Structure 1
């Protein structure tokens, strides 16, 4: 499961992406000072949520505590409908790990997946209030697409810009939007 992802875009680049798909984007908590970074579980990171007729970029914590105390950072979407609490998690890449080829090597191999040339994506997520940590988000997962299945048996749910509005405003069913990414959508490199 995805437990690390990367964001590199600044607020201006993010605003331009949303302008490009004609989704008004506001910053109700002020324009954040985003620096390129790897985002770890429990870090705060930018997410986009829907507010009546426009999108809002806010900074929230990645994961909320489950009743067991473990962080809920990924949630299976397979066959499930999510009519509310939807958000887009902004990312420029995500990491997956594989067992090393050499059994003597203990450290897993790390792979960075990025959108292919000319592509963009955001991760489908859920944003929920939590009495312990405040509003927090989780990433939705599903079966892997061809670009990921050689590395992992699950994949985070990725949405292209043409799907962002219908995901955020709830006008499309989750079951119609959350599918494995087609072959050639992602580039992978050793990280």
Structure 2
């Protein structure tokens, strides 16, 4: 499951990518200072674009904590999507890469092998997410997961839901069914390189 991702592009580039899709970005809390980050880890703050109530083709860009506490206090950073509709509190988690970890190929190596996945030909992509209000930490988000697509299956038995670009506006519209939007990308959509 994804427990580490990255965003190395600036805010202006993020806004531009959404503008190409005719999605107007609003900043209800002011323009956030988004710094290039190689690693955004569980409990870190990251940028999300969430639904503007009653307005299709618009999204609010805010920074929130990745993961909320479960009843057992463990962080909920991934959430199974199978069989669910997600009729409220949808968000797009903006990224330009994510990591998966596998048992090391070298038996002398103590740490797992680290693999960086990126969307081929696109500077950023959107991970399907949901957010909620919590008593302890305020608003927080989590990534949706599903069965792995062909690019991820050799590395993990689950994967995060990466939305096709033409589905971003639909994901932000809770009146559009979530089920047809949650699907694996075609083979070759993601590049992978070992970085550790």
Q: State the TM-score, normalizing by the size of structure 2.
A: 0.94
- Structure 1 stretch displaced more, 40-49 or 29-38: 29-38
Residues 75-125 of structure 1, C-alpha deviations (whole Å, 9 max, x = no match): 011222211110000000000000012333221100000010247420000
Equivalenced residue count is 191
Alignment map for 1:58-97 (pairs within 5 Å): 58-97=62-101
Q: Hey, what does 2:189 align to over in structure 1?
A: 185
SS for the counterpart of 1:129 is strand
> Residue 55 of structure 1: CA displacement?
0.6
SS for the counterpart of 1:14 is helix
Residues 152-172 of structure 1, C-alpha deviations (whole Å, 9 max, x = no match): 111000012210111111232
CA contact (8 A) 1:139 1:156 kept: yes
SS for the counterpart of 2:61 is strand
Q: Hey, what does 2:14 align to over in structure 1?
A: 14
CA contact (8 A) 1:120 1:161 kept: no
4+ aligned runs moved over 4 Å, structure 1 = none
Q: Hey, what does 1:2 align to over in structure 2?
A: 2
| Structure 2: distance between partners of 1:101 and 1:43 | 29
SS for the counterpart of 2:138 is coil
| Structure 1: distance between partners of 2:103 and 2:34 | 33
RMSD: 1.2
Structure 1 stretches of 5 or more lacking a match? none
> Residue 67 of structure 1: CA displacement?
0.4
Structure 2 stretches of 5 or more lacking a match? none
Alignment map for 1:1-191 (pairs within 5 Å): 1-37=1-37, 38-51=39-52, 52-53=54-55, 54-118=58-122, 120-191=124-195
SS for the counterpart of 2:49 is strand
| Structure 1: distance between partners of 2:3 and 2:106 | 23
Residues 21-70 of structure 1, C-alpha deviations (whole Å, 9 max, x = no match): 10111111111111111101000110001113221100000000000000
1:40 to 1:118, Cα distance in 2 relative to 1, 3 A: closer
Q: State the TM-score, normalizing by the size of structure 1.
A: 0.96
| Structure 1: distance between partners of 2:104 and 2:172 | 39
